[in-house]
Structure 1
Amino acid sequence: MEENKLEFEKEMLVSASKKSSKNTTMYSPAQLAYAGDAVYEMLVRSYIIKNNDINVNKMHRLTVKFVKAKAQAYIVSKLDNELTDEEKTIVKRGRNAKVTSSPKNAELMDYRYATGFEALVGYLYLNDELDRLMELFEKIIEIIEKDEEHENN
């Protein structure tokens, strides 16, 4: 991926992110996932808008490929070897968190792994580890685009 391709997305995060006085290990997995869901959705949408000249309906369908629980579960499995031990622990905390609602359009196991993934994104964001978040986001784009190529062949 070319240098600075995701600079706009990173700058949005920097302007919105302020290192919290609260230790991020004190946030519950649900709180981390809540933040991670919003941050990841914003990253995906801004990436799609900037890199695709398509109508809004197609943008939505492309966004879903990134954000649905099954995709997030797949992403976190593909990223496993790239994650630090600390990041793996965050994913595990999110994955093992008590589920208070049942997923509408997802298998329970995919939903759990997706929650772990979102917890990781939230953790990196709230911990102000934006360079690492963007590094992983670049890998996520590669994973989804590679998977999309396989679907089209």
Structure 2
Amino acid sequence: MEENIITLTGFSDLFKESLHLKVVDIKSYSPLALAYMGDAVYEVIIRTKVMNHGSTQVNNMHKKSAKLVNAGTQADIIRRLLEEEDLTPEEIAVYKRGRNAKSVTTAKHATMADYRTATGFEALCGYLYLNGELERLIAVVSKGLERIGELE
């Protein structure tokens, strides 16, 4: 039986080809557009991690995911990454653009400071994803989860 192994690069290429995605200058996206994508990408990463613990009730998986996919946790992750100097200067610049972006949305269950900080983190996730830096995206999220004690 032949195994079909797709690398991260292969996945990215397959994704672009199958969906007929055109090349877009990543710098043309607003920080809030990057955060929009980053929010979704980060949630998929977290859901994948949660499901990897084995089959359990969906409600339990949702509770664990919700704990990690909220403004407070995301703000904590990016603050720890910044403290430990785990990000490149370019990544810090993307984060700051996202953090400083003026959004019409307000935080429901977080302080405005945490909400804006989390938006910066999501912008960074979106930037790395859209730039095709999937390995770096996974490394940043993994390191962040490790820093807050959520990587078993």
Smaller-chain TM-score bracket: 0.7 to 0.9
Equivalent residue for 1:79? 81
Equivalent residue for 1:23? 25
| CA drift at 1:11 | 8.0
Equivalent residue for 2:108, pick from 100, 104, 110: 104
Q: What whole-Å deviation, never above 9, does each CA across 1:124-152 have from its counterpart, x for those lacking one?
A: 000001111111122133234x1699xxx
Q: TM-score, normalised by structure 1?
A: 0.81
Q: Measured at CA, do residues 148 and 124 of structure 1 come closer, stay the same or move farther in structure 2, by a change above 3 Å?
A: closer
Does residue 100 of structure 2 align to residue 89 of structure 1?
no
Give yes or no for contact 1:20–1:126 (8 Å, CA) kept in 2.
no
The correspondence of residues 43-82 of structure 1 with structure 2, limited to 5 A, is: 43-80=45-82, 81-82=85-86
Question: Unaligned 5+ residue runs, structure 1?
Answer: 1-6
Equivalent residue for 2:133? 129
Q: Measured at CA, do residues 92 and 30 of structure 1 come closer, stay the same or move farther in structure 2, by a change above 3 Å?
A: same
* More helix, by proportion: 1
- RMSD across aligned positions (CA): 2.7
Matched residue count: 142
Equivalent residue for 2:122? 118
Q: What whole-Å deviation, never above 9, does each CA across 1:17-73 have from its counterpart, x for those lacking one?
A: 578522111100010000001111111111111224432111111101211000000
| CA drift at 1:101 | 1.4
* Alpha-carbon separation, structure 1, partners of 2:29 and 2:112: 23
Q: Which amino acid aligns with 1:69?
A: A
Give yes or no for contact 1:13–1:130 (8 Å, CA) kept in 2.
no
Q: Which amino acid aligns with 1:90?
A: V
Moved over 6 A (4+): none
* Alpha-carbon separation, structure 2, partners of 1:11 and 1:51: 26
Give yes or no for contact 2:38–2:123 (8 Å, CA) kept in 1.
yes
Give yes or no for contact 2:42–2:125 (8 Å, CA) kept in 1.
yes
* Alpha-carbon separation, structure 1, partners of 2:103 and 2:38: 16
* Alpha-carbon separation, structure 2, partners of 1:54 and 1:11: 31
Q: Which amino acid aligns with 1:129?
A: E
Question: Unaligned 5+ residue runs, structure 2?
Answer: none
